[in-house]
Structure 1
Amino acid sequence: MSTVLVPLAHGCEELEAVTVIDLLRRAGVSVTVAGLEAGPVTASRGVVLLPETTLNDILDQDFDMVVLPGGLGGAQRLEADRRIAALLRRMAEQGRFVAAICAAPRVLVSAGLLKDREATAYPGILDDQPEIRLSSAAVVRDGTFITSRGPGTAIDFTLSLIEILCGHEQRDTVEKALQRS
């Protein structure tokens, strides 16, 4: 079974966080939701999310993928946390998957991981990064890095993650149950 870490910070985008957690679990992925600190996380629109654990409690664990939800406030808090940067660099060095949506690709930039790569993000978030090949696509994969634009692309983003972790058939099964068409 694939394992994914979703770190949550105050100000995260709740639609992105919950979509990622929910759809990955529907696909049978083991998802660990960790707060930067103990206690509830207040998301960008006031929704209160309750992480299962803290980042400190799981830092020594191995995961197949780390997924960073966006939301400007949450992304700024993730970006300022040295533990997150170290975790992302370790994941990249090990050839594991790192995914970020909305404002969170900026965290990957700060960790030094998107130089000379193709990526996407919420409009304006990566515009000052000439070393990135900026795309307007909803979801971009460049090697083990997956990025996406924002709340409206959260389902497509997560379905892409499911395909990477579980295969095309599992992605199709989850998408069919969503009744998107």
Structure 2
Amino acid sequence: MKRVYVLVFDGYADWELGNVLAEVRRLGKAEVVSVGFTEDIVVSMGGLRVIPDMPLSRVEPDDISLFILPGGYLWEKGYPRDELEPFLKSLEASGTPIAAICAATTVLARAGILKGREHTSNSPVYLEKMASGHTDPKLYVDALAVRDRQVITASGLGAVDFTVQVLEELALSTSETRQIWYDAFKKGEYPDDFDHEG
């Protein structure tokens, strides 16, 4: 499997990445690469200091099996749209999966990537407020996570559902194992005979 890339920046929502990054490494044996807008240290909402592995300008799209955008206040303020949007559109054009959770869904909307796709966010009102004119309300799905043609979107409350959609998109493990994982992390149901290696 190619590498999984995740964008990190000051104030990114670290808890939204916990399950998904752990499982793409555990089940997919994927290398996770952190990407920043620069190579400077960033500090997450939870206070984790992260040195990005590389800046966005050095990412090779052909090396990506999935690109993840976590939520964060940055998306509700200002960010380097001139750099990020062409990059995301190139991934979309090549069929490379993109996953965005919480406020990061607004980035995909502004880039035009949600047009013609079923999607979700924190709420339809939130998405329209933050990305007015870039949304398609008829295709908004009232769910914690939605996947449509290599694009995954999720509510900030849907980190577990987000992870399952990523696992399905990348075909990691079996559908039975993914369901057991979901029931465990979502409902607290963990069978005694479950194979922990998946």
- Partner in structure 2 of residue 156 of structure 1: 161
Give, as a single letter, the amino acid of the residue that structure 2 aligns with 1:107: V
**Residue matched to 1:85:** 85
Cα distance per residue 1:18-48 (max 9 Å; x no partner): 3332222122223211111113211124332
Is 1:141 aligned to residue 147 of structure 2?
Answer: yes
- One-letter amino acid matched to 2:120: T
Mapped to 2, the partners of 1:138 and 1:177 lie a distance apart of: 13
The answer on whether the counterparts of 2:145 and 2:154 sit within 8 Å (CA) in structure 1 is: yes
SS in 2 for 1:104: helix
Amino acid at match of 1:102: C
Q: SS in structure 2 opposite 1:159?
A: helix
Q: Answer yes or no: is 1:19 the counterpart of 2:27.
A: no
5+ unaligned residues in a row in structure 1: which ranges? none
Change beyond 3 A, Cα 1:125–1:171 = farther
Aligned residues: 179
Which residue in 2 is equivalent to 1:97?
97
**Residues 3 and 31 of structure 2 are in contact (CA less than 8 Å); yes or no, is this contact kept in structure 1?**
yes
The residue aligned with 2:69 is 68
**Alpha carbons 2:119, 2:148 under 8 Å: kept:** yes
Q: Give, as a single letter, the amino acid of the residue that structure 2 aligns with 1:101.
A: I
Q: Which secondary structure state, in structure 2, belongs to the residue aligned with residue 70 of structure 1? A: coil
Paired amino acid for 1:164: E
Distance in 2 (alpha carbons) for counterparts of 1:91 and 1:24: 19
- Contact 2:9/2:36, CA 8 A, preserved across alignment: yes
Distance 1:174 1:142, change over 3 A: closer
Q: Match of 1:139, as an amino acid?
A: A
> Partners of 1:63 and 1:80 in 2: how far apart?
21
Q: Secondary structure at 1:64's aligned position in 2?
A: strand
Q: SS at 1:119's partner residue? A: coil
Among the aligned pairs, what percent are the same residue? 28
Instruction: Give the aligned partner of residue 121 of structure 1.
Output: 121
8 Å contact kept, 1:79–1:106: no
Alignment partners' CA distance in 2, 1:33 and 1:76? 21
TM-score of the aligned structures, taking structure 1 as reference length: 0.83
